[in-house]
Amino acid sequence: MARAFIFVLDSFGIGGAADAERYGDACADTFGHIALACAAGRGDREGLRSGPLSLPNMVSLGLAEAARTATGFTFDGAGPLRASSFHGAAQEVSNGKDTPSGHWEIAGLPVRFGWGYFPDTVPAFPAELTEAMIREGHVPGILANCHAPGTQVIEDYGEEHIRTGMPICYTSVDSVIQIAAHESHFGLERLYEFCKVVRRLADPLRIGRVIARPFQGETAGSFQRTPNRKDFSVPPPEPTLLDRLVEHGRRVIAVGKIGDIFAHRGISEVRKGPGNMAMFDAALGAMDDAGDGDFVFANFVDFDSEYGHRRDVAGYAAALEEFDRRIPEALARLKAGDLFILTADHGNDPTWRGTDHTRERIPVFGLAPGLKGGALGLRPTFGDIGETVAEHLGIAPGRHGTSFLAALNGGHA
């Protein structure tokens, strides 16, 4: 049996990026700063959680050692490692600190080109783009047209959106156009169709993603985003690990927003759920269904969208602890010959200034039942993760990254 599973804790960086200063993120450390905040009582929230950060299952798989590799940080909750566990950290070589770059690089395709971005001005979008969005999207106008956090912009413009029918269009420091619209008043399918128009218009500008952000509610105090988010991404410019696996007859089961991130290329099946725990259920189901040679690639977005961007330390910590409690359910499904990797795509330090992603190294840790496991050291690219999966599942290596499978077998990589 040779199966592979990657669970991406979206935004769960571990600091230490060699080029963090270039991005304004020197010393950002999502895991380290959450742990320190919890130890100091700043991660407490009545009815939610209190005390030091407790992640015994991820620590037993190597999380604390991964953090030590990335920055030298010593986690007070460290404990013994499981047999066959492995741990290391990886440095991103892609441009940017966004979701597509991180995931594409994990899948063996670093982003070497420059994404397009919009200035932090009002309006943020160039006039010709705005005019084309209105004309070709058949809307009476757009609202916001600025850099904004998603929940706040819906609070600010949601009632006007319902009254006028104008979609709420905003951006951030990432290469993205986000479009919020009411699921009932505007219509979910209409929102998706509008996003497809904007996706086409954004292509010449090299914008990485157009994201549909549907919401419900009638007044500013009651607006809530729904689980029907959809990302319209630029397709990868070269074949990724996913394409290569499908070409060799393997099945790739995408859980969460993975399908959207890869523009549904190299995807055999998509499974989703409303929130991290429903996504965990979907991932467990995919593990149950995976056969010899199959690959399950899962993303858990709430860490990023619900807690990182909102700078919610207590919420992020509680979500990590909830996720950790479910790790044994995944481990119970592993068989000899399987490869289970936990990792991230970038950082989003909730103690950091602003509301955007942070440039950080990512943890690479997990379990390889039947193999020796051990230390992987600092990997020079996220691409080493994808190339390890490629070798494990018996396909030819790609051009970007080096497998560490030999290290798991007791050799050197």
pLDDT in tens, 263-276: 999 999 999 998 99
Q: What is the mean pLDDT of residues 130-144?
A: 98
At 399-409, the pLDDT tens digits run: 999 999 999 98
HSE of 358, CA atoms in CB hemisphere, 13 A: 32
Q: How many CB atoms lie within 10 A of CB 67?
A: 28
For 43-116, list the strands marked E by DSSP.
Answer: 85-90
SS3 at position 17 = coil
Q: Pull the structure tokens for residue 190.
A: 């209409």
Strands 85-90 and 362-367: antiparallel
What's the predicted TM-score (pTM) here?
0.90
CA dist 227 and 247 (Å) reads 31
Predicted local distance difference test score (pLDDT) of residue 1:
61
Q: Name beta bridge partners: 210.
A: 177, 232
Asked whether the beta carbons of 342 and 12 are under 8 A apart, the reply is no
Asked whether the beta carbons of 265 and 247 are under 8 A apart, the reply is no
Give residue 285's pLDDT band: very low, low, confident or very high (50, 70, 90): very high
At 219-248, the pLDDT tens digits run: 998 999 998 999 998 999 999 999 999 999
